[in-house]
Amino acid sequence: MSDSDALGLWLSSIGKESVQAFQDDFSGLTGMSLCLVHLDGAPALVASNRSLLCFHIEGRNGVRCQMQHRQFLARMMETGALVVDSCYAGLTCFACPVFRGKEIAGAFFGGMVSVDPPDSTVALDVARYEVKSMSRLDLEKALRLLRSTLSLLKGVRIASGPTIDETGRELMDAYGLSSREIMVIGQIVRGKSNLDIAEALFISEKTVKTHITNILKKTPAKNRYDLALLCKKYFDA
């Protein structure tokens, strides 16, 4: 499974809106920028509190920034642990792994702060760009909170219920279903009501109904009972 698929399934299992809200809240609390990214550095969510200085630097030398981001992520994947370092502009940034089971599915990439005492390599006017300044102790506390939160989610199973095996991937390919629609089907197979599904996936009942309508259009099933019979073999308990 590609890292893109793994991260997409992780997002679906937690709820994309919930992860975005956590990311925004963490960033607002700490003052650091934060973005869930794929292992190639591509963003999976809208970046929270994106640094104006980074925006300025990337506009002038985006290729160098992307290369360094990928180096950070490569080190993180090699060690399987949080990586904290300074970028070429002297700002402190980090890459924190996101696990789906034992597999690294993506990372929270962020920071872009000036840590006291400031790095002597910072050559740009950090005050002009309102760069967040924080002590190393505060940085360590914030990162400990991030790692602890992700640790709680490390063992979360898809849709708090059945998991998708390789045959389940065939189901997605056969009918052009999205990973989110597979989550809904997994709940239907277990006999869950629309309200139960909404609570499990952190979405509204209206959204559940919309997903089911779209699923029935894509598959030969005429109703949710037919759908459960059609898809039961694709799931393991």
Q: In this structure, what are the phi and psi dihedrals at residue 39, rounded to the nearest 5 degrees?
A: -70, -10
Sorted by sequence, the CB contacts under 8 Å of residue 161 that are 6+ apart come out as: 186, 187, 190, 192, 200
Question: Is 47's pLDDT higher than 80?
Answer: yes
pLDDT digits (tens, 9 = 90+) for 146-175: 998 888 776 554 444 444 444 466 777 788
**pLDDT of the residue at 125:** 54
Q: Rounded distance, CA 217 to CA 214, Å?
A: 5
Question: Can you name the residues that pair with 100 across neighbouring β-strands?
Answer: 103
Domain match, 193 and 146 both: no
**Under DSSP, is residue 108 helix (H, G, I), strand (E, B) or coil?**
strand
Helix and strand totals (H; E) in the chain = 9, 7
Domain match, 51 and 82 both: yes
Last-in-domain residue among 123, 153, 183: 153
Domain match, 122 and 214 both: no
**Under DSSP, is residue 153 helix (H, G, I), strand (E, B) or coil?**
helix
Domain match, 31 and 108 both: yes
CATH number of residue 16's parent domain: 3.30.450
Last-in-domain residue among 126, 153, 180: 153
Average pLDDT for 74-95? 89
CATH number of residue 167's parent domain: 1.10.10.10
Please tell me the total count of domains within the chain.
2
Domain match, 123 and 162 both: no
pLDDT digits (tens, 9 = 90+) for 28-46: 999 899 999 999 999 999 9
Spatial CA neighbour of 186 closest among 225, 221, 237, 220: 237
Domain match, 53 and 170 both: no
Domain match, 99 and 129 both: yes
Give the domain extent around 131. Answer: 3-153
Domain match, 162 and 194 both: yes
Domain match, 25 and 45 both: yes
**pLDDT of the residue at 222:** 92
Domain match, 71 and 100 both: yes
Question: Is 236's pLDDT higher than 80?
Answer: no
Last-in-domain residue among 127, 153, 179: 153
Domain match, 137 and 20 both: yes
Domain match, 125 and 12 both: yes
Average pLDDT for 63-71? 84
